[in-house]
Amino acid sequence: MRVHPRSGMRSYTVARIWAIPIRINISLILFLPLLAYLIGSGQGITLYAGVIGSLAGTELDPAALAEFRWLIGTLAALGLFVGVLAHELGHAWMARRYGIGIESITLWIFGGVAALESIPKEWNREFWIAIVGPITSVAVGVVFLLGLQVVPASQPVLLFVVGWLGVINIVLAVFNCIPAFPMDGGRILRALLARNRPYASATRMAARIGITFGLVFVVLGVLAFDLILILVGLFVYGAAKNESRITTVADLLEGLTVADLMRPDPQTIPADTTLQAFSDRMFTSRRTVFPVERDGELVGVVSLDNLKSARKLDRETVTVAEILSSSSVRVRREEDAFEALAAINTARTNHALVEDGAGEVVGIVTFAEFAETMQFAANAGKPARESPLEEGIV
């Protein structure tokens, strides 16, 4: 469960459940054959055959099962991610009960992500949204284990797959309850901590625990020569750091709108302005971003970054119209400041044009305004112990 996940890898919408787009990330498509191989390998089958046989009240021959290793691996891998989808739908169901929208559910290499439109700061709401995921996984596991009682012993492949899915869903539910972001246990811990302390403080405390778990996973992975455990540890470490950083920024911008940060009546620059004239204009005005105007109409935005990218061009003859950014981010004046910053960050830019209710541009807001505001808030006493401005915002 996460808010506004971002990934450089592409995802594809394959279905809709409760009008929620179900997406498959390309990392999962690439990972599934490897997962099928690991599950169906001789070691994988031997590891689980005895346990599943005991639960089913019969004996499973690992050597006989190994003849169907690819079938077992493929069915088990696909079934695993059906269970992951059920887990994320559990989060979605509970979130919708609290009136929180779900942007999408994405399945990827490390499991699933239900992209909630917002994470509630009421501790009891976050607690129930987070814990219902592991509860759903346990329920799915129990259903598969009950299914062992009706699968005939004459179908050892099906018996193994059903039993494996029962065991692994329960194991993953327990693993997911480890108190480390971005796993559900980290959010459960934050919810419990937030009962008697500020939300941002609870997040930082839970994030520090998550970072510790991430480092422990990496060390154990190195000692055991386990690449997957190392990758999981790095992922947990990075996600815990990012969660703390995002919460710090949100806390510093809490209660502010774009109108509080924007520069009203932005200074525009004609499209036929030369790069040299643009450079001089920046120096005299102490501004680094300008909307570009042609015949009374905005055609884009030009900034210091555009000028840096054009350093090899002739500044006396090339105009800003040739280097401007045509697809600028636009945000509403009354929009929440943190949401606007997230939109700017997602677009990989450092500014946005500000519109009024009629869609007219009435100002511009840049990363500099966000940085200055957050620095002021931190100096004024808000608890910003992280360094979000140095590492990237969200």
pLDDT band, very low/low/confident/very high, at 94 (cuts 50, 70, 90): very high
CATH architecture of 258-391: Roll (3.10)
pLDDT band, very low/low/confident/very high, at 326 (cuts 50, 70, 90): low
Instruction: Give per-residue burial for 237-266: e unless 16+ CB within 10 Å, then b.
Output: bebbbbbbbbbbbbbbbeebbbbebbeeeb
Domain extents in the chain = 2-177, 258-391
pLDDT tens, residue by residue, 3-31: 444 444 688 888 999 999 999 988 888 88
pLDDT tens, residue by residue, 225-244: 877 788 888 888 888 887 77
pLDDT tens, residue by residue, 124-144: 999 999 999 999 999 999 999
